[in-house]
Structure 1
Amino acid sequence: MRGTVVSEQRIRGGHTFLSIDTECGRVVCAAYEPSGPFRYLLDWLDPGDTVEVMGELRDSPRTLNLEKVHVISLVDEWEKVSNPVCPNCGTTMSSAGRGKGYRCRKCGAQAAQAVMRRKARPVVSGWYEPPTEARRHLSKPLKRMGEVQPVEFVDCRNH
């Protein structure tokens, strides 16, 4: 199934759930604690990212147990670096209030927004699957499906 990420939730015990909007409606996908670093992928996805998921659809509760995830596209995530600098006097501007932009205290010049930069994300486009020891015994590995090699997980839990 192909869809757009709506939300992500981790519950007690380490199970992670991902809600995606598909052409068939909203689908809840699950990656359970034994799948290890595969769960971190769900933590790294943001609302708006486009993914394709493969797995087993469970009846009660209605959940797609994830076996493979193909990250197709990622949305840009921005973070504030600093307040803008006044073009007239070179001092750092201060906030004019919520939603009102920035203003220079010395000369009164105004700016609409802060200095922003694109935030680095620990996820890239590509195929992801759980480590070998966490796969179901009937789950076919990506390398035997004629697909490209899956993205390797690196210990990025601090992100």
Structure 2
Amino acid sequence: MYADGDVPGLLRRVGATDLDRTTAMMRRLHPGREIEQCEGSNLGDGVHPSEGDGVRSRPAGRGGHRRSGSEIDAPSELPEHWGAASAGRRLALHAMHSAVDRLAFAAWEDGHLVRSLSLSPDDGIIENIGEPLPFELPHWAGDHPADIAP
């Protein structure tokens, strides 16, 4: 999410999508790709887009595939122009993959990565860049231990 201000507060006040601005941002984030509008959805329904609704990309060293937020292991490795697109604002990334209990999140301020954390029970801490954000502190202090299945 690219935001001018506090992300949780903005999500609480979200209105209708500006399709022209969204299309322009998608073209900026995916240069050289064909971008077309599809039927809208809400955040809950749009987490797992239907086949063909995702943006096709070709990460270095891999074949082309549909990319979704659940595939992010190290947020700091996102394309540099994605972070740069946050110039003058905030970029917040949140990705989860329930099959492997992986969580990744990151924050960029004015185009610069300030925090990235990615972890899972099997892999441990995959990436831990920057100072923990205030909401993380109780977790790091052990106030909210995870239930670990043997």
The normalised TM-score by structure 2 is 0.23
Instruction: Point out the structure with the larger strand share.
Output: 1
The normalised TM-score by structure 1 is 0.22
